[in-house]
Amino acid sequence: METVPHGITLGTVLRFVDVATDALSAAREEIDALNVYPVPDGDTGTNMFLTFSAARDAIREAAADGADLLAGLAAFRRAALLAARGNSGVILSQMLGATALRIERAQVGEDPAEVMADALRLATDASYEAVGTPVEGTILTVARAASDGAAALLAKEDGPVRAADIFCAAAGAAREALALTPTQLKVLADAGVVDAGGRGLSVVLDAAERVLTGRLPVSQDGHRRTSRIPVLATGDDLTESGPSYEVMYLLDAPESAVATLRATLAGLGDSLVVVGNEPLWNVHVHVDDVGAAIEAGIVAGRPHRIRVTHFAEQMARARGHEAGRTGRRVVAVAVGAGLRELFTGAGALVVEAAVGRRPSTGEILEVINSSQAAEIVVLPNDPDSVRVAEIAARTAEEAGNVRVAVIPTHAQVQGLAALAVHEPGRAFDQDVLEMTATARHAKHGAVTVAAKQAFTTAGPCEVGDALGVIDGDFAVVGSDLLEVATSVVGRLLGAGGELVTLVSGEDDEAGELAERCAAWVEETHPLADVVIYEGGQERYPLLMSVE
């Protein structure tokens, strides 16, 4: 039975999260430049983008695994909570969570327009409740204007109202409120800018309007919004005051402990935001005493994923005082302990992933930024991770003096092949060209075991059947893993090749399957060299490539 109102579909939500993520990516640098409140650390746009893109990655992955709208929204709001960064990112995560939860709870027969208007109201209420001391002229004000604009439209219209109309009204009201934020907050007026968090929220609402109407938002003067809000000052000459550190952590705690935690943290600093629901919370506060802020979390429950930022250092980086990047590094996504060691041993910086859990844009971007290299080559090693890597690369390039190239490797063994020819001493473009060509010419395959009855591109299979994969498609179905493995390698060698790489998985811990497959290659293709690695990857007892 349908449990969501007509018109609110997973497809629509997926289009929205893609458009909003791209829009936040494009506006990230602009929003960072607007960031003068509460601390002029120039990261609001980045934090909002990373928060939203992680939530987008989660719902996309859930949809790819067959999730329906309700399961997808649940994954979306949980990922937003877990990935929330910075003051505005945490507030945005709370708003996204409240909106998603209202859609999840919609009943059959409810008017979609009323559902969305109510979702915007709940999102605004949640954002105000999350903040220790709400301040007008910020993202909160813009959120309130958006939800009030939606409610006003419902109240005045006698005829039917569409969900698209609701978001047009909300986005328009948000833009008007954003333009007025300098009149509400002196620090914005002094810097000659609008509020950064409010601008980020406006970008998200504009994306919703665009998805539902197919039109670019129109400003009050009738011109379509395609240019940035002018920045008259960047906040570089502002005098920093207030607490020295930003402290963030996830907290496992009962709801009964959160009120005490809020009171304790409020006494230690400012910009306090606590969001979530029992048992998981996301805590953000600006303090001078980092230890006391973390201790308060320990008293309340179990803090983890603790992040501490020193504002003086962050503002220096934002103003370009950071030491220049040098050298070239490779960033590789790796699945399995052995594969991680292989990539690390070859000099790559590793982004950890697992079967069924692909890396987020934020995870890849964090490794790129922490590398301090002037040139980065990214090996996603999974077809669904290529776009995520490309967004991370674009974001890194927009943020600073760094060149990033993504080689679209679709398999771990392709990444290994590309890394084998990496030469940091040659020109960047030439190195990328050589690595790309090698990866492209590395024919790849794998063997796995069927977990359920299904009809594959190679024919029907039963639980426990051995399945051979070539270039991502099922090519062989059999009853014996070795027979299927040698069949796959034989097909890969059929088009020629001099080097066979075999990577054993965790189900072939002793390497027996790999060794027997290698012996078969040596017997049937004596001119081909064989290399065996212990990969430790899940689900695939053997990965293979032929070059």
| Lowest-pLDDT range of 137-141, 201-205, 383-387, 424-428 | 424-428
- 204 contacts: CB under 8 Å, gap ≥ 6: 20, 23, 24, 52, 92
Within 399-547, strands assigned E span: 403-406, 443-449, 454-456, 459-461, 466-470, 473-478, 499-504, 529-534, 542-546
Whether the CB-CB separation of 509 and 484 falls below 8 Å is answered with no
Residue 228 has pLDDT above 50, yes or no: no
Whether the CB-CB separation of 419 and 343 falls below 8 Å is answered with yes
Q: At what angle do helices 44-64 and 69-83 cross, to 10 degrees?
A: 150
Residue 435 has pLDDT above 60, yes or no: yes
Domain covering 443-546 assigned CATH 3.30.1180 in the classification: yes
For residue 263, give the amino acid letter.
A
Report the sign of the C-alpha dihedral through residues 168, 170, 171, 173, in that order.
positive
The CATH code that applies to domain 245-318 is 3.30.70
How does residue 312 score in pLDDT terms, banded at 50, 70 and 90?
Answer: low
How does residue 177 score in pLDDT terms, banded at 50, 70 and 90?
Answer: very high
pTM of the predicted model as reported, rounded to 2 decimal places: 0.60
pLDDT in tens, 365-405: 889 888 888 889 999 988 888 888 888 888 888 776 788 98
Please give the Cα distance from 38 to 195 (Å, whole number): 10
What is residue 315's predicted lDDT score, i.e. its pLDDT? 58
- 328-441, CATH topology level: Rossmann fold (3.40.50)
What is residue 322's predicted lDDT score, i.e. its pLDDT? 45
For the record, the structure tokens of 321 come out as 């005082």
**What are the sequence ranges of the domains in the chain?**
10-213, 245-318, 328-441, 443-546
Structure-model confidence comparison of residues 530 and 42, the more confident one: 530
Percent of the chain scoring above 90 in pLDDT: 27
The residue among 194, 174, 175, 199 whose CA lies nearest residue 184 is: 194
Whether the CB-CB separation of 55 and 231 falls below 8 Å is answered with no
- Looking at residue 465, the DSSP 8-state letter turns out to be -
Give the mean model confidence (pLDDT) for residues 242-255. Answer: 86
pLDDT in tens, 92-111: 999 999 999 999 888 878 88
- Report strand pairing: 542-546 vs 499-504: antiparallel
What is residue 431's predicted lDDT score, i.e. its pLDDT? 85
CA atoms within 13 A of residue 479's CA, in its CB half-sphere: 0
Tracing tokens 């490794």 back to the chain, one arrives at 367
Residue 309 has pLDDT above 50, yes or no: yes
As a whole number of angstroms, the longest Cα–Cα distance in the chain is 81
How does residue 181 score in pLDDT terms, banded at 50, 70 and 90?
Answer: very high
- The number of residues making up the chain comes to 547
Give the mean model confidence (pLDDT) for residues 4-29. Answer: 81
Residue 225 has pLDDT above 90, yes or no: no
Please give the Cα distance from 510 to 545 (Å, whole number): 20
What is residue 223's predicted lDDT score, i.e. its pLDDT? 35
Please give the Cα distance from 467 to 474 (Å, whole number): 7
What is residue 237's predicted lDDT score, i.e. its pLDDT? 39
3-state helix vs strand vs coil in the chain, percent to 5? 50, 20, 30
Give the mean model confidence (pLDDT) for residues 149-169. Answer: 87
The residue among 117, 92, 121, 120 whose CA lies nearest residue 24 is: 92
How does residue 197 score in pLDDT terms, banded at 50, 70 and 90?
Answer: very high
Residue 6 has pLDDT above 60, yes or no: no
The answer to whether 245-318 and 328-441 have equal CATH topology is no
Give the mean model confidence (pLDDT) for residues 281-287. Answer: 88
Query: Domain 10-213 is of which CATH architecture?
Result: Alpha Horseshoe (1.25)
Residue 424's Cβ-count burial label (10 Å; 0-12, 13-18, 19+) is middle
The distance from CA 109 to its chain's CA centroid, rounded to whole angstroms, is 34
Average pLDDT of the residues of the chain: 84
Please give the Cα distance from 216 to 222 (Å, whole number): 11
